[in-house]
Amino acid sequence: MKILVISDIHANLAALNRVLDDSGSVDAVWCLGDLVGYGAEPNECVEQLSLLPNLVCLMGNHDAAVVGQLPLESFNNEAQASIRWTQQNIQPHLLEFLKNQPTLRIMGNITLAHASPRLPIWEYILDTETARINMEGMQTPYAFVGHTHQPVTYSKNGRKWVDWEIPLIGMPTPFPKYGIFNPGSVGQPRDRDPRAAYAIYDDTNQTWEARRVAYDISTTQKAILTAGLPTRHATRLNEGW
Is the CB of residue 209 less than 8 Å from the CB of residue 33? no
Beta carbons within 8 Å of 232's beta carbon, 6+ residues apart? 78
Going by the DSSP 8-state scheme, the letter that residue 72 receives in this structure is G
Site track for Zn ion across 28-67, x = CB under 5 A = ------x---------------------------------
Minimum distance between the CB of residue 225 and Zn ion, rounded to whole angstroms? 20
The side-by-side arrangement of strands in the sheet containing 178-182 is 104-107, 110-113, 142-144, 178-182, 152-156, 163-165
Q: What angle do CA 1, 164, 28 make, to 5 degrees?
A: 15
Site track for Zn ion across 91-130, x = CB under 5 A = ----------------------------------------
Minimum distance between the CB of residue 215 and Zn ion, rounded to whole angstroms? 17
Complex with Zn ion: residue 44 or 63, whichever CB lies closer = 63
Question: How many residues in the shown chain lie near Zn ion by CB under 5 A?
Answer: 2
Main-chain dihedrals φ then ψ at residue 198, nearest 5 degrees: -160, 180
Q: Residue 7 and residue 11: Cα distance in Å, rounded?
A: 11
Site track for Zn ion across 1-20, x = CB under 5 A = -------x------------
Complex with Zn ion: residue 149 or 212, whichever CB lies closer = 149
Complex with Zn ion: residue 101 or 155, whichever CB lies closer = 101
Q: What angle do CA 21, 169, 220 make, to 5 degrees?
A: 45
Minimum distance between the CB of residue 36 and Zn ion, rounded to whole angstroms? 10
Complex with Zn ion: residue 124 or 164, whichever CB lies closer = 124
Minimum distance between the CB of residue 159 and Zn ion, rounded to whole angstroms? 32
Identify which range of 27-35, 103-111, 124-132, 200-208 contacts Zn ion by CB under 5 A: 27-35
Three-state secondary structure call for residue 110: strand
Q: Residue 41 and residue 104: Cα distance in Å, rounded?
A: 25
Complex with Zn ion: residue 34 or 209, whichever CB lies closer = 34
Complex with Zn ion: residue 8 or 44, whichever CB lies closer = 8
Minimum distance between the CB of residue 204 and Zn ion, rounded to whole angstroms? 30
Task: Give the Cβ contact number of residue 61 at 10 Å.
Answer: 23
Which residues form the interface with Zn ion (CB under 5 A)? 8, 34
